[in-house]
Chain A
Amino acid sequence: MFRSLRAKLLAWYSLVLLAVLATFAAVAVWTVWRSNLRDVDARLSATASRLARAVNAEPTGPYEVNLAGEDLALFGGSDEGPYYAMWTSRGALIDRSDPQVDGSFPGTPQVRIRGGNREVVVRGDHDALVLVGQSLAQLRADLWRTILGFAAAGGSALVLALLGGWLLVGRALAPIGRIAETAEAMSESNLGLRVDISRTEDELGAVAATLNRAFDRLQEAFERQTRFTADASHELRTPLASLLAELEWALARPWPDAEYTKTLQVCERAGQRMRNVVDGLLTLARADAGALPSRREPVNLTSLARETAATAIPIATARGISIRLDGASATVEGDPDRLRELISNLVLNAVHYSSPGGTVRCSVSAAGGMTRLEVADSGPGIDPQDLPHIFERFYRANKARSGPAGGAGLGLAISKWIAESHGGQIRCESTDGGGSRFTVELPTKH
């Protein structure tokens, strides 16, 4: 592609150059030809005027031509040299320089080219017509020499220009080669490669910089994907390890029945945890595929929040945490199962992160066409440097506080998708030590 671009550029370039040179040469040659012809005409006219004055007519007798010596010398020369002819006003030939000169009567004074000769016809004394002509062979030969000269000079100029053009285009296109090489060399294992833009500050430098930024985004996306895969793998391997190790232990030799019961409980918990991870991953895979909630129906968010909070009460009570719910009735449109999942994620998170004896406040309000659900906890809050990342998949703020039991670190990522796929949004405010508040805003259904 690069080589053909260089050749293409050069082809166009030489075509334009050729046209310019040819036009220039044509104009120049034409000008020279005109100028030489004017000189010839002037000479012929002068000679013709002289000859015209040399014609004497007797009133009764024949015409008489008295040529001066210089004119005799002029017309005595070779075939190439000038010639003349004279006629009476009635067209009778009076005289000519050579018997071979065409004697046919020209009729009127004129300037013409006839049979490769330039001829000037003037009217002299006594209405005689005087023709003086000259062969243009010499002039033509001069013209051809000029044309050849121009062709030689133009050809050399073209060759030099092509050579220079080839080098210049090569230099100008070299960065494209470098860009292509870099892009070619990029692969999964060296995503860090970038086009060197230190030496190019022109348009190609801008292209390279744009490409480098695209590479940055590509690398970032790739690394995010790699991290996600590693995290998903970690979340699945951990319960799988527990399950397999427990089974290996149980099968190593016979145990009392009570031990088998414990083994089955361990296996059940591991299986449930794996199911949670797989469910979460499937939900997010659907979210990535751009799936929308399968159902769209009016949902009373207040009753849904009340029901969902009620299911969290046993867990909260066990941890010495109370859940308070208040708010006006508000209806939104959407998938009740998904919205329940959203509320449940937020409430269980709040219960999990609250300190014992704390309170989880849940409220629903409607204003300005939006319905707002707030879930606030009285926990230690979220570290400001974790806050921008909490909605990312598998992100765990502070590893010391692992998520709710069985959570795979996907709950908030899923909640964010649910809120957004319902045309709403979710955000979190938190002060370190002062609890966290999650706010979901959804369009109110009228």
Chain B
Amino acid sequence: MRLLVVEDEPDLAATLRKALAEAGFAVDVAADGQDALSQIEGVAYDAVVLDLMIPAIDGWEVMRRLRSRDNRVPLLVLTARDATADKVRALDSGADDYLTKPFTLTELVARLRALIRRAAGSPVPVLCIGDVQIETTARRVTRAGIEVDLAAKEYSLLEFLALHRGELVTRAMLYEHIYDDREDTMSNVVDVYVASLRRKLGHTLIRTRRGAGYIIDV
């Protein structure tokens, strides 16, 4: 899952980047509203963590512009402003969730997972596909009750496909959602991961649509 963190405080931005990466997200950072808008324009983020008091264009305006362009990316506002009026204004401007600073990383991660689940239309934290179970909170996968050891990117790829069950997912989409903008990738790395996942979870789970991409059937 790929996130954009919009935060002008360099130390906090760095902490969020490494902590969210540790939680399995691919994380990009924007330091101001202008930058945030252009990045969201270019990448289909799974969620955006947005500070309100940011330079150039403030958080409220960023939300307003995104929503007026019918961009539905899940938005979590992370701000030091704790007045009820601010929360109401942010939620009414299009925010999906609101967390005040100081916050705990575990709560932030849990809220982001919930936001992404809901956006994918699946409020259940455990995804079941045949005999394969994906626990999104613990990032754990079992097949017929036996835990399967997956690399971090393998898990991310599987989770994204599972959350979009029944939809064709292109290679470009997979690259976009499991890598952040600082990672260099080889063009065939997705195919390598899919092959590895098939070895571990069975060959029928992920189907290939030749020339188009992959799909997990409903």
Residues of A within 8 A of B (CB): 230, 233-234, 237-246, 248-249, 252, 266, 269-270, 399-402
| CB nearest to B108 among chain A residues | A245
Across the interface, B15 reaches (CB within 8 A) one of A230, A233, A240, A266, namely A266
Show 9 A/B contacts (Cβ-Cβ < 8 Å), sorted by A: A230-B83, A234-B53, A245-B103, A245-B104, A248-B106, A399-B53, A399-B54, A399-B55, A402-B8
Contact residues in A for B18 (Cβ distance below 8 Å):
249
User: Does B82 sit within 8 A of A, measured CB to CB?
Assistant: yes
Across the interface, B11 reaches (CB within 8 A) one of A230, A270, A401, namely A270
Contact residues in A for B81 (Cβ distance below 8 Å):
230, 234
Q: Please classify the interface of chain B as helix (H, G, I), strand (E, B), loop, or mixed, using the class held by over half of its residues.
A: loop
| CB nearest to A238 among chain B residues | B80
Using A234-B80, A238-B80 as known contacts, say yes or no to A269 and B105 having CB atoms under 8 A apart: no
Q: Is the CB of B15 within 8 A of A238?
A: no
Using A238-B80, A241-B80, A241-B103 as known contacts, say yes or no to A246 and B15 having CB atoms under 8 A apart: yes
Using A238-B80, A270-B11, A402-B55 as known contacts, say yes or no to A245 and B105 having CB atoms under 8 A apart: yes
The 5 A-B pairs of least Cβ separation, nearest first, read A241-B101, A237-B80, A400-B55, A242-B12, A241-B102
Residues of B within 8 A of A (CB): 8-9, 11-12, 14-16, 18-19, 22, 32, 53-56, 58, 80-83, 100-106
Q: Is the CB of A245 within 8 A of B58?
A: no
Distance of A196 from chain B, by nearest CB (Å): 27
Using A245-B12, A245-B102, A245-B103 as known contacts, say yes or no to A252 and B22 having CB atoms under 8 A apart: yes
| CB nearest to A262 among chain B residues | B14
Contact residues in B for A237 (Cβ distance below 8 Å):
80, 82, 100-102
- A401–B8 Cα distance when bound, in Å, is 11
**Given known contacts A238-B80, A248-B104, A401-B55, what 11 new A-B pairs fall within 8 Å (CB)?**
A230-B83, A237-B82, A237-B100, A237-B102, A242-B11, A249-B15, A249-B18, A249-B22, A399-B53, A399-B58, A400-B32
Contact residues in A for B15 (Cβ distance below 8 Å):
242, 245-246, 249, 266
Contact residues in B for A270 (Cβ distance below 8 Å):
11
Q: Is the CB of A266 within 8 A of B19?
A: no
- A399–B59 Cα distance when bound, in Å, is 12
- A243–B11 Cα distance when bound, in Å, is 9
Across the interface, B12 reaches (CB within 8 A) one of A241, A248, A401, A402, namely A241
Contact residues in A for B56 (Cβ distance below 8 Å):
399-400
Distance of B57 from chain A, by nearest CB (Å): 9
| CB nearest to A237 among chain B residues | B80
Q: Is the CB of B19 within 8 A of A245?
A: yes
- A246–B105 Cα distance when bound, in Å, is 9
Distance of A144 from chain B, by nearest CB (Å): 80
Across the interface, A248 reaches (CB within 8 A) one of B8, B19, B80, B82, namely B19
Q: Is the CB of A248 within 8 A of B105?
A: yes
- A239–B15 Cα distance when bound, in Å, is 12
- A266–B18 Cα distance when bound, in Å, is 13
| CB nearest to B16 among chain A residues | A245
| CB nearest to B58 among chain A residues | A399
- A248–B103 Cα distance when bound, in Å, is 10
| CB nearest to A242 among chain B residues | B12
Contact residues in B for A266 (Cβ distance below 8 Å):
11, 14-15
| CB nearest to B101 among chain A residues | A241
Q: Is the CB of A238 within 8 A of B9?
A: yes
Using A230-B83, A233-B80 as known contacts, say yes or no to A238 and B101 having CB atoms under 8 A apart: yes
Contact residues in A for B12 (Cβ distance below 8 Å):
238, 241-242, 245
Across the interface, A249 reaches (CB within 8 A) one of B19, B32, B53, B83, namely B19
Distance of A289 from chain B, by nearest CB (Å): 27
- A243–B104 Cα distance when bound, in Å, is 11
- A269–B14 Cα distance when bound, in Å, is 13
| CB nearest to A266 among chain B residues | B11
Q: Is the CB of B11 within 8 A of A269?
A: yes
Contact residues in A for B11 (Cβ distance below 8 Å):
242, 246, 266, 269-270
Contact residues in B for A244 (Cβ distance below 8 Å):
102-104
Distance of B53 from chain A, by nearest CB (Å): 7
Contact residues in B for A402 (Cβ distance below 8 Å):
8, 55
